[in-house]
Amino acid sequence: MRRKGVSYAKYGYFFCIPFVLAYLIFSFYPTIYTTVIGFTDLKGIGRTDFNILDNPFRNFEIILKNPSFQKSLGNTAMIWIANFIPQIGLALLLTAWFTSHRRKIKGQGFFKVLFYMPNIITAATIAILFATLFGYPTGPVNSLFQDLGWSDGPIYFLMNKWTARGVIAFIQFWMWYGYTMIVLIAGVLGINPELFEASEIDGATGAQTFFHVTLPNLRTIMLFTLVTSLIGGLQMFDIPKLFQNGGPDSSTLTTSAFIYNQAFSGSYLYNRAAAASMIMFIIIAACSSILFYILRDRDAIKLNKQIKQQQKELRKAEKAARREE
Amino acid sequence: MRHETKISGRLLKIIIYIVCIFLAILSIIPFWIMIMNATRSTFEIQQNAISLLPSKFLQSNIDVLLGKSFNPIVGFINSMIISTGTTLCAVYFSSLTAYGIVAYNWRLRQPFFTFILAIMMIPSQVTAIGFYQFVYKLDMTNNFLPLILPAIAAPPMVFFMRQYLLGMLQIDIVNSGRIDGAGEFYIFNRIILPIMKPAIATQAIFTFVSSWNNLFMPMVLLTNSDKYTMPIMVSLLRGDIYRTEYGAIYLGLTVTVLPLFIVYFLLSKYIIAGVALGGVKE
């Protein structure tokens, strides 16, 4: 005998309530609040009361015209690109090496553990460690340069804008290429092995197999890596903030550090910081949707179109046939 | 011809090993120099800042380090409380939400899941100003709860747990629990959670580490030095107080890294497997 009418559906709602509540309180409300603050005169330490400005977009106008903000956008973009291109390049190269069917590379587990290691170490610690390593006049990099005879006296490396930016890009690269490599290797292992067998039977070289079989099949995972890295890169804070506090001459000031400095130092311009946050929000949303659009599965879309086309023709033919009857 | 490719193949293999060993050294060397310098005196470091061998000034560096405002014990305890709380909230409620989505057929199930996918990419940092104002109005700055409770809603983890449950959950187990008269909540806690243990373990490690390393929100909310977390403590090393006490600075950095090293080398196998699993989100 089956019991009738016991519906468990309501538990679906019950079990999701904590998530929804926490989301509404700690994410949704602050998002709306931030947006509203962007249109107000809220500034000054400890202030919480505000009025909507006569010209509500004034903060946005000021931020967009602010040379520091423009510079921080440029810095963020530069540092991210300078870290991401070598990162994905090296990760792809290592993936090709580690997943090759012809060469079995020994000690892969060992290498993976070491390549990934910098990623779990506190970014704040790494920032200060590198600032100390490149220290002036006393620092390991200076010692190395003098031991090797590359320089006569100590060099003030981090006074140079490009060196400072380059070191930050290098830190990001160094912390993340291992992660990207592991993700890509997992992606390759997920590809149907028959594809590799077929290309081997057809006599494809290792490089041909990589470019024509492996890469196209990694598209989704590379999109995932790209989007997550981009979103992470646009929020880069710990390293630029603690490495040289945005210096020298704001050359390593990122947008997150800019927002932090606006809101939590100087004259505590919460409204400007909120406006800048919203601009970043829009940039992040735009970047990820553009990327999704560019890298969407073109083959599947083409196939769909073809099927639709065929159906249309079929219907046309049917109509024509009926008319002839 | 065949012979030639064999030689070039062997050469390539040697190049691969050289590159890999170089990268491995590159991962270790900054930390190695850091740990060695933590045992050396400021004078030794000024003479030559690179040493691959330890010296015998660890004790004097400890004295200098602890003589100022850097307090690793306080930082450690605070970080431990926040990270543990965050991890427990995140894994428990994400599992609960994922189970709610997978096991029950309710009307808003699909829209709710689409909603989770949509908010997955929204970074929390861009809404920090509103969050700070909200917490400040409640007079909850310098309190750990605003850093812990938001973890109850962790969209990427719900997504991960859902994928896992879709593959593992057999509705028969749930039904047999129901026949035995168990309540739905009891079934989740006693039957489902144990099934999800592997997924929970991986997610717990990553949540814990990322919460431990988080600097932005704690730095915004915690202004009282008794409440400082480990990364905020680290940021003190940058200040003027340790200006030329190089040995102490290196020691401070080492102290903050040590717990992570221990955790990493104990769990590296699971962590690497977890990274691989998390990346293939399809």
H/E segment holding residue A313: helix A298-324
Q: CA nearest B211 in A: which residue?
A: A122
Residue B76 has pLDDT above 90, yes or no: yes
**Which residue of B7, B41, B127 is the best one to mutate when testing the A interface, meaning the one whose CB has the most A CBs within 10 A?**
B127
Mean pLDDT of A95-122: 90
Beta bridge partners of residue A40, listed in sequence order: A52
For the cut 50, the answer to whether the pLDDT of residue B50 exceeds it is yes
Q: Smallest Cβ distance to B106: which of A12, A129, A227?
A: A12
Residue A198 domain-assigned? yes
| Nearest-by-Cβ selection for B129 from A15, A125, A274 | A274
Across A317-321, average pLDDT: 79
Asked if residue A247 is part of any domain, the answer here is yes
Judged by phi (left if over 0) then psi (alpha if -120 to 50, else beta), residue B41 lies in beta
Asked if B130 lies within 8 A of A30 by C-beta distance, the reply is yes
With respect to residue A243, please indicate whether it lies within any of the assigned structural domains.
yes
Whether A34 is covered by a domain: the verdict is: no
Write out pLDDT tens, residues B156-194: 899 889 988 988 888 888 888 899 888 899 999 999 999
* Residues of chain A found within 8 Å of residue B220, distances taken between Cβ atoms: 260, 264
Please provide the average confidence, as pLDDT, over all residues in chain B.
88
The rounded distance, in Å, linking the Cα atoms of A68 and A160 is 18
Residue B271 clears pLDDT 60, i.e. is over it: yes
pLDDT at A299 over 70: no
What is the reported pLDDT for B282? 37
B199: nearest Cα among B81, B80, B77, B102: B102
Q: Between chains, do A34 and B46 touch, taking CB under 8 Å as contact?
A: no
Is there a contact between B20 and A242 if contact means CB atoms under 8 Å apart?
Answer: no
Higher pLDDT, A294 or A222: A222
Question: Is the per-residue pLDDT at A153 higher than 90?
Answer: no
pLDDT reading at A8 higher than 70:
yes
> Of A77 and B276, which is predicted with more confidence?
A77
Task: Indicate the range of A7-21, A41-55, A266-280 predicted with least confidence.
Answer: A41-55
Highest mean pLDDT among A37-46, A81-90, B266-275: A81-90
When pLDDT is cut at 50, 70 and 90, the band that residue A325 belongs to is: low
| Domains of chain B, CATH where assigned | 1-70+237-282 (no CATH), 74-236 (1.10.3720.10)
Identify the weakest region by mean pLDDT among A159-173, A208-222, B133-147: A208-222
Residue B115 CB contacts under 8 Å (≥ 6 apart), including other chains: none
**Do B126 and A281 touch, CB atoms closer than 8 A?**
yes
For residue A101, pLDDT beyond 80 = no
Is position A268 within any domain? yes
A92 part of a folded domain: yes
CATH number for position A153: 1.10.3720.10
Q: What whole-number distance in Å separates Cα of residue B218 and Cα of residue A264?
A: 13
Q: What is the pLDDT of residue A4?
A: 45
Q: What is the count of structural domains for chain A?
A: 1
Chain centroid to CA B10? 40
In this prediction, residues A65-69 reach a mean pLDDT of 93
Helices in B120-149 by DSSP H: which ranges?
A: 128-137, 145-148
Q: How far A309 CA lies from chain B's nearest CA (Å)?
A: 29
CB contact under 8 Å between A19 and B268, yes or no, is no
Count of positions (residues) in chain A? 325
- What ranges in B67-170 are assigned the alpha helix state H? 72-103, 109-119, 128-137, 145-148, 155-168
Do A69 and A63 touch, CB atoms closer than 8 A? yes
What per-residue confidence (pLDDT) applies to A116? 94
> Does some domain include residue A125?
yes
Chain A residues inside the 8 Å CB shell of B250: 132
Point out the least confidently predicted range of A55-69, B43-57, B94-108, B139-153.
Answer: B43-57
For residue A75, what are the domain limits? 68-301
Has residue B3 got a pLDDT over 60? no
Q: Which of A20, A27, A119, A122 to mutate to test the interface with B (most CBs of B within 10 A)?
A: A122
pLDDT band at A1 (very low <50, low <70, confident <90, very high): very low
pLDDT for B129: 92
Helix axis angle, A219-234 to A161-189, nearest 10°: 150
Task: Search chain B and give the residue with CA nearest A144.
Answer: B50
CA distances from B138 to A34, A72, B131, B134, B148 (A): 16, 32, 11, 7, 16
**Average pLDDT of span B117-137:** 86
B229 DSSP assignment: -
Phi, psi of A67 (to 5 degrees): -60, -35
Whether A234 is covered by a domain: the verdict is: yes
| Percent of the residues in chain A that have a pLDDT greater than 70, as a whole number | 94
Q: Residue B49: which of A113, A116, A142 has the nearest Cβ?
A: A142
Quick check: B127 pLDDT over 70? yes
Q: How far is A125 from chain B (nearest CA, A)?
A: 6
Give the angle B60-B64-B66 at the CA atoms, nearest 5°: 115
How much is the pLDDT for B54?
87
Task: Write down the residue that tokens 């307090």 correspond to.
Answer: B71
Q: Nearest-CA distance from A316 to chain B in Å?
A: 37
Query: How many Å apart are CA B30 and CA A133, to the nearest integer?
Result: 8
